[in-house]
Amino acid sequence: MDWLDRSLWGNTLGTWLLSLAVGLTVFLALSLLKRVFFHRLARIAKRTKTDADDLALQLLSQNWLLLFAAISLGAAYLIPAWPDGQSVLRLALLALILTQVGMVGSGLIRYAVSRRIKVGSESPDTDVRPTIQALGLIGRIVLWAIVVLLFLDSIPGIEVNTLLAGLGIGGIATALAVQAVLGELLASVSILLDKPFVVGDFITVGDYGGTVEYIGLRSTRFRSVMGEQVVFSNTDLVASRIQNFKRMQDRRVTFNVRVPYGTSYDQLLIIPELLREIVEAQQQTEFAWARFADFEDSTLNFEVVYKMVVADYNAYIAVRQAINYEIVRQFSENGIELAYPTQRVHLNGRPPSRSRGAERTAGAGTASL
């Protein structure tokens, strides 16, 4: 076995073979341990509903070869003597470890993104997927930038502070150039996190209203009641007052019923009770009040207030129509007239006379000439 005592690069050949054997043994042992733990954890994850074991399973499913190689190389590094090249090996070990950290971090970000998209697919806001994917991409870019900077900082002769200063100036210039795009992206993130509305909600913004169809990185689109698609930039939406009708729990309805002057006192007394019975006859309403509100120019005004216990707009329209029909029917049965626009004109010095056609339909009120 004299050949094992031969010198090679400052160590005997036997020392080099021992170092190689130690490195391979550590690498195989780590790979075997990973496989055993992975299969056991997979069986446990099937029996539980928690996210912790799913996350651990996701981590174990990552490619750990670089970390195993770094550990194996470190174990083999302890055997021979290293008069030269120690800094190179240390940099190689650091590069392997940092690369593995970046890969694991990227895997965690992908898991978080996929998890959020899965949760979003079970709720109405399914179209926030582009925003989530964009945030995941930004997170991975930042992570790898940190990994590269940490590696460069360990290399002698490289001034990371100078590099960061240059990157800072370049970053400011880039931010100014894409300021509008960054503003839209931040507005999209704000909508995603705060959730003033989601896909499927009926909202109004200023004079526009419609059902939200898509929430993107730059704009949000909704379909108006007239059928056209309206596109808003996300920054405009964040800065606007938004009415979200999809989240209504009930609907308060107020309307007026007007009868003409000349309606008898007894008829005026029964009108509130008639209106109460008409509203309470509808199953989806809660009656509030019906009262003689005020005297107008040519009519007597009754105010009716009730609440719809459902927020559905179609139900509201159906109930309102049923109430209107019933008001016409019951007022007719009780001999109560509904007011319509009229105007009586008195000619100066002459008494009003129907035979001369002094009455004419024009509007509410009485005028003297």
For the segment 28-43, what is each residue's pLDDT rounded down to a tens digit? 887 787 777 767 766 7
Beta-carbon neighbour count of residue 326 at 10 Å? 17
For the segment 79-99, the average pLDDT, to the nearest whole number, is: 67
User: Residue 349 and residue 229: Cα distance in Å, rounded?
Assistant: 63
CA dist 311 → 243, 244, 305 (Å): 14, 11, 16
Mean pLDDT, range 160-182, rounded to an integer: 61
> Which runs of E-coded beta strand occur in the chain?
7-8, 11-12, 202-205, 208-215, 219-224, 229-233, 242-244, 251-260, 285-295, 299-308, 343-346, 359-360, 366-368
By the 10 Å C-beta count (0-12 exposed, 13-18 middle, 19+ buried), 128 is classed as buried
pLDDT higher than threshold 90 for residue 334: yes
pLDDT 10s digits, 354-366? 444 434 333 344 3
pLDDT value at residue 361: 38
- Total residue length of the chain: 369
Are 308 and 251 within 8 A, CB to CB? yes
Q: Looking at this protein, which amino acid is placed at residue 128?
A: V
d(CA 152, CA 165): 15
Mean pLDDT lowest for which of 61-70, 124-133, 256-265, 281-290?
A: 124-133
pLDDT of residue 16: 66
CB half-sphere exposure, 346, CA atoms < 13 A: 9
Q: Is the pTM of this model over 0.75?
A: no
Q: Which domains does the chain have, with CATH numbers?
A: 2-171 (no CATH), 183-245 (2.30.30.60), 251-333 (3.30.70.100), 341-369 (no CATH)
Mean pLDDT computed over every residue of the chain: 76
Encode pLDDT of 126-169 as tens digits: 455 666 777 778 888 888 888 888 877 777 666 666 666 656 65
Measured distance CA(222)–CA(128) in Å, rounded: 14
DSSP, residue by residue, 307-365: EESS--HHHHHHHHHHHHHHHHHHHHHTTPPPP---EEEE-TTS---TTTT-EE-SSSS
**pLDDT at residue 303 greater than cutoff 90:** yes
